[in-house]
Structure 1
Protein backbone atom coordinates (compact mmCIF):
# COMPACT_ATOMS: atom_id res chain seq x y z
CA UNK A 1 0.00 0.00 0.00
CA UNK A 2 1.32 3.43 -1.00
CA UNK A 3 2.17 5.71 1.93
CA UNK A 4 0.34 9.05 1.93
CA UNK A 5 2.82 11.90 2.34
CA UNK A 6 1.65 14.88 4.40
CA UNK A 7 2.51 18.16 2.57
CA UNK A 8 3.31 19.76 5.95
CA UNK A 9 6.00 17.11 6.57
CA UNK A 10 7.42 17.70 3.07
CA UNK A 11 7.60 21.44 3.81
CA UNK A 12 9.30 20.80 7.17
CA UNK A 13 11.86 18.50 5.54
CA UNK A 14 12.56 21.09 2.87
CA UNK A 15 13.06 23.84 5.46
CA UNK A 16 15.44 21.67 7.52
CA UNK A 17 17.55 20.29 4.68
CA UNK A 18 17.26 22.92 1.95
CA UNK A 19 16.62 20.13 -0.57
CA UNK A 20 14.05 20.66 -3.34
CA UNK A 21 10.36 19.96 -2.76
CA UNK A 22 10.22 16.99 -5.15
CA UNK A 23 13.38 15.47 -3.69
CA UNK A 24 11.91 15.76 -0.19
CA UNK A 25 8.65 14.14 -1.25
CA UNK A 26 10.53 11.33 -3.01
CA UNK A 27 12.75 10.72 0.03
CA UNK A 28 9.72 10.42 2.32
CA UNK A 29 7.93 8.08 -0.09
CA UNK A 30 10.98 5.83 -0.41
CA UNK A 31 11.25 5.61 3.38
CA UNK A 32 7.55 4.98 4.09
CA UNK A 33 7.09 8.44 5.55
CA UNK A 34 9.88 8.08 8.13
CA UNK A 35 11.21 11.62 8.63
CA UNK A 36 14.63 10.76 10.11
CA UNK A 37 15.36 8.19 7.41
CA UNK A 38 14.32 10.70 4.74
CA UNK A 39 16.82 13.23 6.12
CA UNK A 40 19.61 10.63 6.03
CA UNK A 41 18.62 9.58 2.52
CA UNK A 42 18.84 13.15 1.25
CA UNK A 43 22.23 13.62 2.87
CA UNK A 44 23.51 10.34 1.45
CA UNK A 45 22.50 11.31 -2.08
CA UNK A 46 24.01 14.76 -1.71
CA UNK A 47 20.67 16.48 -2.27
CA UNK A 48 20.99 18.80 0.71
CA UNK A 49 24.20 20.48 -0.39
CA UNK A 50 23.40 20.34 -4.10
CA UNK A 51 19.98 21.96 -3.96
CA UNK A 52 21.30 24.80 -1.77
CA UNK A 53 23.94 25.58 -4.42
CA UNK A 54 21.68 25.21 -7.46
CA UNK A 55 21.41 28.95 -8.17
CA UNK A 56 25.12 29.76 -7.98
CA UNK A 57 26.87 30.94 -11.14
CA UNK A 58 28.98 28.39 -13.01
CA UNK A 59 31.46 30.27 -15.20
CA UNK A 60 34.38 27.83 -15.05
CA UNK A 61 34.71 24.20 -16.04
CA UNK A 62 35.81 22.25 -19.09
CA UNK A 63 34.89 20.82 -22.46
CA UNK A 64 35.51 17.11 -22.32
CA UNK A 65 35.91 14.94 -25.41
CA UNK A 66 35.32 11.20 -25.42
CA UNK A 67 35.97 8.79 -28.30
CA UNK A 68 34.16 5.47 -27.97
CA UNK A 69 35.91 2.17 -28.68
CA UNK A 70 36.17 1.66 -32.45
CA UNK A 71 36.57 5.37 -33.20
CA UNK A 72 33.11 5.64 -34.78
CA UNK A 73 31.40 7.64 -32.05
CA UNK A 74 32.58 10.80 -30.33
CA UNK A 75 31.08 12.99 -27.62
CA UNK A 76 31.94 16.54 -26.60
CA UNK A 77 30.31 17.81 -23.43
CA UNK A 78 30.61 21.13 -21.61
CA UNK A 79 30.58 20.79 -17.82
CA UNK A 80 30.62 23.97 -15.74
CA UNK A 81 31.52 24.69 -12.12
CA UNK A 82 32.18 27.80 -10.01
CA UNK A 83 35.98 27.92 -9.85
CA UNK A 84 39.02 26.91 -11.88
CA UNK A 85 40.31 25.08 -8.80
CA UNK A 86 37.41 22.62 -8.85
CA UNK A 87 37.65 22.31 -12.65
CA UNK A 88 41.13 20.81 -12.11
CA UNK A 89 39.99 18.30 -9.49
CA UNK A 90 40.11 14.61 -10.39
CA UNK A 91 36.51 14.11 -9.26
CA UNK A 92 35.35 16.81 -11.68
CA UNK A 93 37.26 15.24 -14.56
CA UNK A 94 35.80 11.84 -13.72
CA UNK A 95 32.31 13.32 -13.71
CA UNK A 96 32.87 14.84 -17.16
CA UNK A 97 34.10 11.49 -18.48
CA UNK A 98 31.19 9.57 -16.95
CA UNK A 99 28.67 12.02 -18.39
CA UNK A 100 30.23 11.70 -21.84
CA UNK A 101 30.10 7.90 -21.57
CA UNK A 102 26.46 8.14 -20.46
CA UNK A 103 25.59 10.12 -23.59
CA UNK A 104 27.54 7.67 -25.76
CA UNK A 105 25.66 4.72 -24.26
CA UNK A 106 22.22 5.93 -25.31
CA UNK A 107 21.55 7.42 -28.78
CA UNK A 108 18.05 8.50 -27.65
CA UNK A 109 19.49 11.20 -25.37
CA UNK A 110 18.98 14.52 -27.16
CA UNK A 111 18.86 17.24 -24.48
CA UNK A 112 20.30 17.94 -21.03
CA UNK A 113 17.06 18.74 -19.18
CA UNK A 114 13.31 18.99 -19.73
CA UNK A 115 13.61 22.76 -20.09
CA UNK A 116 15.63 22.21 -23.28
CA UNK A 117 12.68 20.56 -25.02
CA UNK A 118 10.69 23.04 -27.11
CA UNK A 119 6.94 23.43 -26.75
CA UNK A 120 6.52 22.57 -30.44
CA UNK A 121 8.15 19.17 -29.92
CA UNK A 122 5.96 18.51 -26.88
CA UNK A 123 2.84 19.49 -28.84
CA UNK A 124 3.85 17.35 -31.82
CA UNK A 125 4.31 14.34 -29.55
CA UNK A 126 0.99 15.06 -27.80
CA UNK A 127 -0.80 15.16 -31.15
CA UNK A 128 0.84 11.90 -32.22
CA UNK A 129 -0.15 10.06 -29.05
CA UNK A 130 -3.69 11.45 -28.87
CA UNK A 131 -4.80 9.98 -32.21
CA UNK A 132 -3.77 6.42 -31.41
CA UNK A 133 -6.58 3.96 -32.00
CA UNK A 134 -6.60 2.43 -28.51
CA UNK A 135 -7.64 5.78 -26.99
CA UNK A 136 -10.50 6.80 -29.25
CA UNK A 137 -13.32 5.21 -27.23
CA UNK A 138 -12.12 6.47 -23.85
CA UNK A 139 -13.61 9.51 -22.05
CA UNK A 140 -11.71 12.73 -22.74
CA UNK A 141 -10.40 13.14 -19.18
CA UNK A 142 -9.02 9.58 -19.08
CA UNK A 143 -7.66 9.90 -22.62
CA UNK A 144 -5.79 13.10 -21.74
CA UNK A 145 -4.32 11.48 -18.63
CA UNK A 146 -3.04 8.51 -20.64
CA UNK A 147 -1.62 10.77 -23.36
CA UNK A 148 0.11 12.89 -20.72
CA UNK A 149 1.74 9.79 -19.23
CA UNK A 150 2.89 8.53 -22.61
CA UNK A 151 4.31 11.90 -23.62
CA UNK A 152 6.21 12.22 -20.34
CA UNK A 153 7.62 8.71 -20.72
CA UNK A 154 8.72 9.41 -24.27
CA UNK A 155 10.32 12.75 -23.40
CA UNK A 156 12.11 11.24 -20.41
CA UNK A 157 14.07 8.97 -22.75
CA UNK A 158 15.52 12.06 -24.43
CA UNK A 159 16.61 13.86 -21.23
CA UNK A 160 20.16 13.24 -19.97
CA UNK A 161 19.50 14.17 -16.33
CA UNK A 162 16.59 11.73 -16.09
CA UNK A 163 18.52 8.67 -17.28
CA UNK A 164 19.43 5.76 -15.04
CA UNK A 165 23.11 6.31 -14.27
CA UNK A 166 25.17 3.65 -16.06
CA UNK A 167 27.50 3.03 -13.10
CA UNK A 168 24.75 2.84 -10.46
CA UNK A 169 21.17 1.92 -11.50
CA UNK A 170 19.87 3.17 -8.15
CA UNK A 171 20.71 6.74 -9.19
CA UNK A 172 19.65 9.03 -12.00
CA UNK A 173 22.32 11.09 -13.75
CA UNK A 174 20.99 14.09 -11.84
CA UNK A 175 21.44 12.24 -8.53
CA UNK A 176 25.02 11.36 -9.47
CA UNK A 177 25.86 14.98 -10.30
CA UNK A 178 24.43 16.08 -6.94
CA UNK A 179 26.63 13.56 -5.16
CA UNK A 180 29.70 15.10 -6.80
CA UNK A 181 28.43 18.58 -5.88
CA UNK A 182 28.27 17.48 -2.24
CA UNK A 183 31.89 16.27 -2.46
CA UNK A 184 33.35 19.30 -4.24
CA UNK A 185 31.19 21.93 -2.55
CA UNK A 186 30.36 23.83 -5.73
CA UNK A 187 27.45 23.99 -8.12
CA UNK A 188 27.99 21.90 -11.25
CA UNK A 189 25.99 22.16 -14.44
CA UNK A 190 25.97 20.17 -17.67
CA UNK A 191 25.53 22.94 -20.22
CA UNK A 192 25.51 21.22 -23.60
CA UNK A 193 26.81 18.29 -25.60
CA UNK A 194 27.41 17.23 -29.18
CA UNK A 195 27.38 13.68 -30.52
CA UNK A 196 29.47 12.78 -33.59
CA UNK A 197 28.63 9.53 -35.38
CA UNK A 198 30.88 8.42 -38.24
CA UNK A 199 29.14 8.88 -41.59
CA UNK A 200 26.29 11.03 -40.26
CA UNK A 201 25.85 14.61 -41.44
CA UNK A 202 23.38 17.34 -40.52
CA UNK A 203 20.33 17.36 -42.74
Structure 2
Protein backbone atom coordinates (compact mmCIF):
# COMPACT_ATOMS: atom_id res chain seq x y z
CA UNK A 1 0.00 0.00 0.00
CA UNK A 2 1.29 3.48 -0.87
CA UNK A 3 2.26 5.58 2.17
CA UNK A 4 0.64 8.89 1.27
CA UNK A 5 1.23 12.25 2.91
CA UNK A 6 -2.39 12.34 4.07
CA UNK A 7 -1.98 8.96 5.78
CA UNK A 8 1.15 10.14 7.59
CA UNK A 9 -0.65 13.34 8.58
CA UNK A 10 -3.59 11.39 10.00
CA UNK A 11 -1.30 9.14 12.05
CA UNK A 12 0.62 12.18 13.34
CA UNK A 13 -2.60 13.84 14.48
CA UNK A 14 -3.80 10.66 16.19
CA UNK A 15 -0.53 9.68 17.84
CA UNK A 16 1.33 12.94 18.37
CA UNK A 17 4.51 11.21 17.15
CA UNK A 18 7.00 12.77 14.72
CA UNK A 19 6.56 12.62 10.96
CA UNK A 20 9.46 10.22 10.34
CA UNK A 21 8.32 7.90 13.13
CA UNK A 22 4.81 7.82 11.63
CA UNK A 23 6.13 7.18 8.13
CA UNK A 24 8.35 4.35 9.39
CA UNK A 25 5.53 2.77 11.41
CA UNK A 26 3.21 2.85 8.38
CA UNK A 27 5.89 1.37 6.10
CA UNK A 28 6.61 -1.45 8.57
CA UNK A 29 2.90 -2.25 8.84
CA UNK A 30 1.95 -2.16 5.17
CA UNK A 31 0.10 1.15 5.43
CA UNK A 32 -2.31 -0.22 8.06
CA UNK A 33 -2.93 2.84 10.22
CA UNK A 34 -4.34 0.88 13.17
CA UNK A 35 -1.37 -1.49 13.23
CA UNK A 36 0.99 1.50 12.89
CA UNK A 37 -0.77 3.20 15.79
CA UNK A 38 -0.33 0.12 17.96
CA UNK A 39 3.35 -0.09 17.00
CA UNK A 40 3.86 3.56 17.97
CA UNK A 41 2.20 2.95 21.33
CA UNK A 42 4.47 -0.01 22.03
CA UNK A 43 7.49 2.02 20.98
CA UNK A 44 6.36 4.89 23.17
CA UNK A 45 5.94 2.59 26.19
CA UNK A 46 9.43 1.19 25.65
CA UNK A 47 10.94 4.68 25.53
CA UNK A 48 8.86 5.77 28.53
CA UNK A 49 10.11 2.79 30.55
CA UNK A 50 13.72 3.78 29.87
CA UNK A 51 13.09 7.30 31.17
CA UNK A 52 10.86 6.30 34.11
CA UNK A 53 13.70 6.40 36.64
CA UNK A 54 14.62 10.02 35.94
CA UNK A 55 13.44 12.62 38.45
CA UNK A 56 10.38 14.55 37.28
CA UNK A 57 9.83 17.34 39.80
CA UNK A 58 8.61 20.11 37.50
CA UNK A 59 5.28 20.13 35.68
CA UNK A 60 1.78 21.48 35.91
CA UNK A 61 -1.38 21.39 38.00
CA UNK A 62 -4.41 21.08 35.72
CA UNK A 63 -8.01 21.61 36.83
CA UNK A 64 -11.42 20.65 35.51
CA UNK A 65 -14.74 21.62 37.11
CA UNK A 66 -18.41 21.32 36.25
CA UNK A 67 -21.71 21.08 38.10
CA UNK A 68 -20.42 21.15 41.65
CA UNK A 69 -17.63 18.67 40.89
CA UNK A 70 -13.96 19.42 40.40
CA UNK A 71 -10.61 17.68 40.06
CA UNK A 72 -6.95 18.67 40.22
CA UNK A 73 -4.30 16.60 38.48
CA UNK A 74 -0.54 16.96 38.87
CA UNK A 75 1.44 15.99 35.79
CA UNK A 76 5.21 16.10 36.18
CA UNK A 77 8.08 16.66 33.76
CA UNK A 78 11.83 16.83 34.26
CA UNK A 79 12.21 20.50 33.29
CA UNK A 80 10.17 23.67 33.56
CA UNK A 81 10.85 24.23 29.85
CA UNK A 82 8.80 21.14 28.96
CA UNK A 83 6.15 22.11 31.53
CA UNK A 84 5.51 25.20 29.38
CA UNK A 85 5.37 23.24 26.11
CA UNK A 86 2.01 23.37 24.32
CA UNK A 87 1.84 19.59 23.88
CA UNK A 88 2.50 19.04 27.59
CA UNK A 89 -0.11 21.62 28.65
CA UNK A 90 -2.69 20.13 26.28
CA UNK A 91 -2.01 16.65 27.69
CA UNK A 92 -2.35 17.82 31.32
CA UNK A 93 -5.61 19.64 30.57
CA UNK A 94 -7.00 16.62 28.70
CA UNK A 95 -6.10 14.32 31.61
CA UNK A 96 -7.92 16.62 34.06
CA UNK A 97 -11.04 16.63 31.89
CA UNK A 98 -10.88 12.85 31.54
CA UNK A 99 -10.52 12.51 35.31
CA UNK A 100 -13.61 14.63 35.91
CA UNK A 101 -15.74 12.92 33.26
CA UNK A 102 -14.72 9.36 34.16
CA UNK A 103 -15.06 9.60 37.92
CA UNK A 104 -11.77 7.68 38.30
CA UNK A 105 -11.04 7.11 41.98
CA UNK A 106 -7.25 7.43 41.82
CA UNK A 107 -4.29 7.86 39.48
CA UNK A 108 -4.02 4.13 38.76
CA UNK A 109 -7.64 4.03 37.63
CA UNK A 110 -7.13 7.24 35.67
CA UNK A 111 -4.29 5.69 33.64
CA UNK A 112 -6.78 3.27 32.05
CA UNK A 113 -9.30 5.99 31.12
CA UNK A 114 -9.76 6.69 27.42
CA UNK A 115 -8.15 9.81 26.04
CA UNK A 116 -9.29 9.87 22.43
CA UNK A 117 -7.80 6.91 20.57
CA UNK A 118 -5.56 5.88 23.48
CA UNK A 119 -5.65 5.49 27.24
CA UNK A 120 -4.14 8.15 29.50
CA UNK A 121 -1.13 5.87 30.07
CA UNK A 122 -0.64 5.24 26.34
CA UNK A 123 -0.95 8.96 25.59
CA UNK A 124 1.62 9.69 28.31
CA UNK A 125 4.05 7.17 26.81
CA UNK A 126 3.67 8.68 23.35
CA UNK A 127 4.31 12.14 24.78
CA UNK A 128 7.48 10.86 26.48
CA UNK A 129 8.65 9.50 23.12
CA UNK A 130 7.84 12.79 21.40
CA UNK A 131 9.27 15.21 23.98
CA UNK A 132 12.14 13.09 25.31
CA UNK A 133 11.59 13.60 29.03
CA UNK A 134 10.14 11.49 31.80
CA UNK A 135 6.51 12.51 32.24
CA UNK A 136 4.31 11.20 35.04
CA UNK A 137 0.69 11.61 36.10
CA UNK A 138 1.49 11.79 39.79
CA UNK A 139 -1.53 12.89 41.81
CA UNK A 140 -5.25 13.48 41.49
CA UNK A 141 -7.73 14.93 43.98
CA UNK A 142 -11.47 15.22 43.59
CA UNK A 143 -14.33 17.15 45.23
CA UNK A 144 -17.85 15.91 44.59
CA UNK A 145 -19.72 16.28 47.86
CA UNK A 146 -22.68 18.17 46.47
CA UNK A 147 -21.74 21.45 48.14
CA UNK A 148 -20.44 24.74 46.71
CA UNK A 149 -17.02 24.24 45.12
CA UNK A 150 -14.26 26.77 44.61
CA UNK A 151 -11.44 25.79 42.25
CA UNK A 152 -8.34 27.86 41.57
CA UNK A 153 -5.02 27.24 39.80
CA UNK A 154 -2.21 29.79 40.10
CA UNK A 155 0.25 29.85 37.21
CA UNK A 156 -0.12 26.13 36.65
CA UNK A 157 2.04 25.55 39.74
CA UNK A 158 -0.46 25.63 42.63
CA UNK A 159 -3.98 24.23 42.59
CA UNK A 160 -6.69 24.44 45.25
CA UNK A 161 -10.13 22.93 45.70
CA UNK A 162 -12.39 24.29 48.41
CA UNK A 163 -15.79 22.95 49.39
CA UNK A 164 -18.17 25.04 51.48
CA UNK A 165 -21.66 24.41 52.75
CA UNK A 166 -23.84 27.36 51.78
CA UNK A 167 -22.42 30.57 50.36
CA UNK A 168 -21.78 30.92 46.63
CA UNK A 169 -19.12 30.16 44.03
CA UNK A 170 -17.57 33.63 44.32
CA UNK A 171 -16.94 33.13 48.04
CA UNK A 172 -15.65 29.59 47.50
CA UNK A 173 -13.25 30.77 44.79
CA UNK A 174 -12.06 33.64 46.98
CA UNK A 175 -11.24 31.21 49.78
CA UNK A 176 -9.50 28.91 47.29
CA UNK A 177 -7.33 31.87 46.26
CA UNK A 178 -6.59 32.51 49.95
CA UNK A 179 -5.47 28.89 50.42
CA UNK A 180 -3.24 29.15 47.34
CA UNK A 181 -1.59 32.31 48.67
CA UNK A 182 -1.33 31.54 52.39
CA UNK A 183 -1.08 27.73 52.45
CA UNK A 184 -2.65 27.27 55.91
CA UNK A 185 -1.53 23.95 57.47
CA UNK A 186 -4.95 23.29 59.02
CA UNK A 187 -8.53 24.15 58.08
CA UNK A 188 -10.07 24.98 61.50
CA UNK A 189 -8.90 24.87 65.16
CA UNK A 190 -10.60 21.46 65.44
CA UNK A 191 -8.14 20.10 62.86
CA UNK A 192 -5.02 21.20 64.78
CA UNK A 193 -3.32 18.10 66.30
CA UNK A 194 -2.89 17.92 70.07
CA UNK A 195 0.82 17.16 69.56
CA UNK A 196 1.26 20.45 67.69
CA UNK A 197 -0.40 22.39 70.51
CA UNK A 198 1.68 20.61 73.17
CA UNK A 199 4.92 21.37 71.32
CA UNK A 200 3.99 25.05 70.83
CA UNK A 201 3.11 25.34 74.52
CA UNK A 202 6.49 23.88 75.42
CA UNK A 203 8.25 26.37 73.13
CA UNK A 204 6.33 29.35 74.52
CA UNK A 205 7.14 28.34 78.09
CA UNK A 206 10.84 28.04 77.19
CA UNK A 207 10.80 31.55 75.68
CA UNK A 208 9.32 33.17 78.80
CA UNK A 209 11.45 35.03 81.31
CA UNK A 210 11.91 33.66 84.83
CA UNK A 211 9.85 36.57 86.13
CA UNK A 212 6.86 35.57 83.98
CA UNK A 213 7.30 31.89 84.83
CA UNK A 214 7.01 32.72 88.54
CA UNK A 215 3.63 34.40 88.14
CA UNK A 216 0.57 32.75 89.71
CA UNK A 217 -0.53 29.58 87.86
CA UNK A 218 -3.86 31.02 86.70
CA UNK A 219 -2.20 34.14 85.25
CA UNK A 220 0.55 32.05 83.63
CA UNK A 221 -2.10 29.83 82.05
CA UNK A 222 -3.92 32.87 80.61
CA UNK A 223 -0.69 34.20 79.12
CA UNK A 224 0.16 30.85 77.52
CA UNK A 225 -3.44 30.33 76.33
CA UNK A 226 -3.38 33.73 74.63
CA UNK A 227 -0.13 32.92 72.84
CA UNK A 228 -1.40 29.50 71.73
CA UNK A 229 -4.67 31.02 70.46
CA UNK A 230 -2.65 33.42 68.31
CA UNK A 231 -0.55 30.56 66.94
CA UNK A 232 -3.70 28.55 66.15
CA UNK A 233 -5.17 31.49 64.25
CA UNK A 234 -1.96 31.90 62.24
CA UNK A 235 -1.95 28.22 61.30
CA UNK A 236 -5.63 27.68 60.48
CA UNK A 237 -7.54 28.81 57.42
CA UNK A 238 -10.48 30.16 59.40
CA UNK A 239 -8.27 32.14 61.78
CA UNK A 240 -6.20 33.95 59.17
CA UNK A 241 -6.96 37.45 57.85
CA UNK A 242 -8.87 36.95 54.57
CA UNK A 243 -6.67 37.91 51.61
CA UNK A 244 -9.64 39.39 49.76
CA UNK A 245 -10.41 41.70 52.73
CA UNK A 246 -7.74 41.69 55.45
CA UNK A 247 -9.98 43.62 57.85
CA UNK A 248 -11.82 40.35 58.55
CA UNK A 249 -10.82 36.73 59.09
CA UNK A 250 -11.77 33.88 56.78
CA UNK A 251 -14.18 32.68 59.46
CA UNK A 252 -15.90 36.07 59.48
CA UNK A 253 -16.08 36.05 55.67
CA UNK A 254 -17.72 32.63 55.80
CA UNK A 255 -20.27 33.74 58.39
CA UNK A 256 -21.10 36.87 56.40
CA UNK A 257 -21.70 34.68 53.35
CA UNK A 258 -23.83 32.19 55.28
CA UNK A 259 -21.31 29.41 54.76
CA UNK A 260 -19.05 27.01 56.60
CA UNK A 261 -15.97 25.04 55.55
CA UNK A 262 -16.36 21.43 54.48
CA UNK A 263 -12.97 20.62 52.95
CA UNK A 264 -9.88 22.06 51.33
CA UNK A 265 -6.99 20.58 49.38
CA UNK A 266 -3.91 22.27 47.95
CA UNK A 267 -1.41 20.81 45.48
CA UNK A 268 1.90 22.40 44.53
CA UNK A 269 4.01 21.06 41.68
CA UNK A 270 6.83 18.80 42.84
CA UNK A 271 6.18 19.04 46.59
CA UNK A 272 7.66 16.02 48.32
CA UNK A 273 9.95 15.15 45.41
CA UNK A 274 13.67 15.42 46.05
CA UNK A 275 15.04 17.48 43.20
CA UNK A 276 18.43 16.78 41.68
CA UNK A 277 20.64 19.88 41.85
CA UNK A 278 23.00 19.95 38.90
CA UNK A 279 26.48 21.46 39.39
CA UNK A 280 27.19 22.38 35.78
CA UNK A 281 30.53 24.07 36.59
CA UNK A 282 31.86 20.90 38.24
CA UNK A 283 30.42 18.78 35.43
CA UNK A 284 32.21 20.83 32.74
CA UNK A 285 35.45 20.88 34.75
CA UNK A 286 35.30 17.10 35.11
CA UNK A 287 34.68 16.66 31.38
CA UNK A 288 37.70 18.85 30.51
CA UNK A 289 40.00 16.62 32.57
CA UNK A 290 38.95 13.47 30.69
TM-score by length of 2: 0.40
- Paired position in structure 2 for 1:33: none
Residue 61 (structure 1) aligned with residue 147 (structure 2): yes
2:195 is aligned to 120
CA distance in 2, matches of 1:77, 1:194: 7
Determine the structure 1 residue equivalent to 2:185.
Answer: 110
Shift of 1:102: 0.9
Q: What SS class does the counterpart of residue 170 from structure 1 fall into?
A: strand
Which residue of 1 is the match for residue 237 of structure 2?
160
Is the 1:79–1:189 Cα contact (8 Å) retained in structure 2? yes
CA distance in 2 between partners of 1:135 and 1:149 (Å)? 16
Aligned pairs for 1:13-162 (under 5 A) are 60-68=146-154, 70-81=155-166, 92-107=168-183, 109-132=184-207, 134-138=208-212, 139-140=214-215, 141=217, 142-162=219-239
Map Cα deviations across residues 165-194 of structure 1 (whole Å, 9 max, x no partner): 22222222122112222xxxxxx3211211
In structure 1, which of residues 176, 183, 193 is the aligned counterpart of residue 253 of structure 2?
176
Aligned residue for 2:235, secondary structure, equals coil
- The answer for unaligned runs of 5 or more in structure 1 is 1-58, 82-90, 182-187
> Given the superposition, is the C-alpha separation of residues 190 and 120 from structure 1 closer, same or farther in structure 2, using an over 3 Å criterion?
same
Q: Which of residues 265, 277, 286 in structure 2 aligns to 1:194? A: 265
Shift of 1:202: 8.1
Shift of 1:148: 2.3
2:246 aligned counterpart, secondary structure: coil
User: Between Structure 1 and Structure 2, whose CA radius of gyration is higher?
Assistant: 2
The total of aligned residue pairs comes to 127
Contact map agreement 2:240 2:250 (CA 8 A) in 1: yes
Q: Give the secondary structure class of the aligned counterpart of 1:157.
A: helix
Structure with larger RCO (C-alpha < 8 A, sep 6+): 1
* TM-score, reference length from structure 1: 0.55
- 3-state secondary structure, aligned to 2:272: coil
RMSD over aligned CA atoms reads 2.3
Which 5+ residue runs of structure 2 have no aligned equivalent? 1-144, 275-290
Contact 1:73 1:196 in 2 (8 A): yes
Runs of at least 4 residues off by over 6 Å: none
In the TM superposition, what is the alpha-carbon distance from 1:155 to its structure 2 partner?
A: 1.4
Tell me the secondary structure at the aligned position of residue 162 of structure 1. coil
